[in-house]
Chains A and B, each alone.
Chain A
């Protein structure tokens, strides 16, 4: 096995759900201040549930693996469930990771949450 766990490597080498959603219900973007990284999450929502997740990413291995894991784990989840996701989600799935790796992974979490928060804000306005 490599320095990272098997699951981490699998997501890095075979990232799931990569791409864009045409006419998404919301998008969330995180751009790194330093490092030139950029993550865009696209979501499709039906009622209070996420029915599709896609993303595009220029980032570190950990950001890629995390984005893939998020996309795989949260299709079908409620918005409320999605908003609870934090760094422990990565720890529980990928095992022990260094602070650096967690930091980069967290960028993907933030981008995903941004997509949901943006969606909720839009809904609020429409109400």
Chain B
């Protein structure tokens, strides 16, 4: 049995998405920028517009507020660097969290070098931000607030609506990285007062290498990619039309099936949590209530994640670890560090992330192998 439980890293492309995409590689391959005279290109453009409409429906925004990118990392880079470039002369401050994805953390380091100031909100032991802390951190120089919708490692869902409200009242641009949440839990950019939002198709059964940035009408942001003036001059580069159309199809499917998927993954996660309850020295990370339904991060006493990871993989089960074994450079994940997890436990942390293609029989098998693996590895450990 091969059991893939690393859906937060990437997902399998839905067969319906692949089918939809296929003819845009070799039949309807023309550049949508020539749609004013080529009927085939017009067809491509129309399909891309449908994808834009689908994403707009998903987020509750207007289609013209959706800009296609190459994925989550580009969207995150664009959101932050685009706002900084627009405010180049006066510089200013950006407020974020220490548990953001590296696409944000690394980008913040770059704009710090550009002369912008970066401040971090504290998080509690569940990785949760307190909106009151944001109020205290905001100054007249604050340009941008960037807080992820849900954390990719521990699944905690941040109080985005409250944060958005504070930013809107103060007239500060609010960006959220929704890469882990789009097509998994509800998003409403109006209700949540979101100005910029990043999403990525391969996290919801779409193709890799495509994503989008939602830019609320009226938000002033500079382009990040210069070139042939695609996407109203804000994101140049020939459209990745097959993937954009595939992403649209993935969104359409999610709009219909999201609710059911949520129920199913939650059911399976509960199966694992029930199992864990009976195992000593195994702890669940992330907020006990406000957590992504497909995410389960666990720390296991007396078992190194790296060894459990390989043990599971040798039994055909793929999960991920909270700290990569990169020899001397061993570094605990910045997320686990920020929530104050003791270092020993951080090195013993694995993430199980479920998806719609998992089924309960697989989880029964996983539970069995997990228990055996923990027992076996603990037998080796010194007291």
What residues of chain A have their CB less than 8 Å away from a CB belonging to chain B?
Answer: 2, 4, 9, 12-13, 15, 18, 32, 34-38, 40, 56-61, 64, 99-100, 103-104
A4 to B328, CA, bound (A): 20
Please name the residue on chain A nearest to B378 by beta carbon: A58
Question: Shortest Cβ distance from B151 into chain A, in angstroms?
Answer: 23
Instruction: Verify A12–B310 contact, CB threshold 8 A.
Output: yes
Instruction: Verify A61–B307 contact, CB threshold 8 A.
Output: yes
Instruction: Verify A38–B343 contact, CB threshold 8 A.
Output: no
Instruction: Verify A13–B314 contact, CB threshold 8 A.
Output: yes
Contact partners of A4 in chain B: CB under 8 A: 310
What are some 6 contacts across the A-B interface (CB < 8 A)?
A: A9-B314, A34-B331, A36-B344, A58-B380, A58-B381, A59-B307
Instruction: Verify B380–A15 contact, CB threshold 8 A.
Output: yes
How many positions in chain B have a CB within 8 Å of any CB in the partner chain? Answer: 25
Instruction: Verify B348–A60 contact, CB threshold 8 A.
Output: no
Please name the residue on chain A nearest to B326 by beta carbon: A100
Instruction: Verify B327–A100 contact, CB threshold 8 A.
Output: yes
Contact partners of A37 in chain B: CB under 8 A: 304, 347
Q: Which of A2, A13, A60 has the most CB of B within 10 A?
A: A60
Number of A-B residue pairs, CB cutoff 8 Å, is: 65
Contact partners of B331 in chain A: CB under 8 A: 34
Tell me if B382 counts as interface (CB < 8 A to partner A).
yes
Instruction: Verify A103–B327 contact, CB threshold 8 A.
Output: yes
Instruction: Verify A56–B306 contact, CB threshold 8 A.
Output: no
Contact of B325 among A12, A58, A104 (CB under 8 A): A104
Contact of B327 among A36, A56, A58, A99 (CB under 8 A): A99
> Which 6 pairs, one residue from A and one from B, show the smallest C-beta to C-beta distance?
A103-B327, A56-B382, A100-B327, A58-B381, A34-B330, A35-B330
Instruction: Verify B382–A40 contact, CB threshold 8 A.
Output: yes
Instruction: Verify A100–B307 contact, CB threshold 8 A.
Output: no
Question: Shortest Cβ distance from B269 into chain A, in angstroms?
Answer: 27
Contact partners of A60 in chain B: CB under 8 A: 304, 306-307, 325
Instruction: Verify B314–A36 contact, CB threshold 8 A.
Output: no
Question: Shortest Cβ distance from A120 into chain B, in angstroms?
Answer: 23
Instruction: Verify B330–A57 contact, CB threshold 8 A.
Output: no
Instruction: Verify B327–A64 contact, CB threshold 8 A.
Output: no
Question: Shortest Cβ distance from A63 into chain B, in angstroms?
Answer: 8
Instruction: Verify A104–B381 contact, CB threshold 8 A.
Output: no
Contact partners of B306 in chain A: CB under 8 A: 60-61
Contact partners of A9 in chain B: CB under 8 A: 314
Question: Shortest Cβ distance from B318 into chain A, in angstroms?
Answer: 12
